[in-house]
Amino acid sequence: MKIIVEDNKFTDDIEVVIKGPKSDDTVKEIYKSLLYFQSTIIGKSLERNYNLSLNNIYYFESVDNKTFAYDKDKVFEVNQRLYQLELSLKHTPFLRVNKNTIINTRKIMSFKHTINGRMEATLKNGEKMKISRNYVADLKSKLGGE
């Protein structure tokens, strides 16, 4: 695979062109990954609806049968269940890490092992997330490790 970045001083728009066989699995995965940067979700805060970029969301959490999206310093209620988000975010950096939480793996600053095979991730906004041992292998895989 060859990657070329060209500087275009005449526009602020980013254009990505993927050249290759459309049916190739790698091409499909690259395409799905790039959609993450354009994807948005509707979140509600103080009776106002906001168009939230997935790239800015740190994690989703389910509390008292409601689902919330957390960005760096704000919380928004979303109208989807956690399992629905998990399915729709399958080809993105988001990953379920416990029964109530899906995190954006690109927002992880560090992580460490804790007792009983669990892990704890520290996000770039300083929040700490518990990772159930059932999801540790998935997290390692998503981050490219073993």
Lookup: tokens for 132: 């159930």
d(CA 54, CA 56): 5
DSSP state letters, 118-138: -EEEEETTS-EEEE-HHHHHH
Residue range 67-100, pLDDT digits in tens: 999 999 899 999 999 999 999 888 788 999 999 9
Q: Are 44 and 78 spatial neighbours (Cβ–Cβ below 8 Å)?
A: yes
Q: Are 52 and 43 spatial neighbours (Cβ–Cβ below 8 Å)?
A: yes
Is the pLDDT at 31 greater than 70, yes or no? yes
Confidence band of 6 (pLDDT split at 50, 70, 90): confident
**pLDDT at residue 145, as a whole number:** 64
Is the pLDDT at 143 greater than 70, yes or no? yes
Region for 93 from its dihedrals, namely left if φ exceeds 0, alpha if ψ lies in -120 to 50, beta otherwise = alpha
Between 143 and 96, the more confident residue is 96
Average pLDDT, the chain: 88
pTM above 0.85, yes or no: no
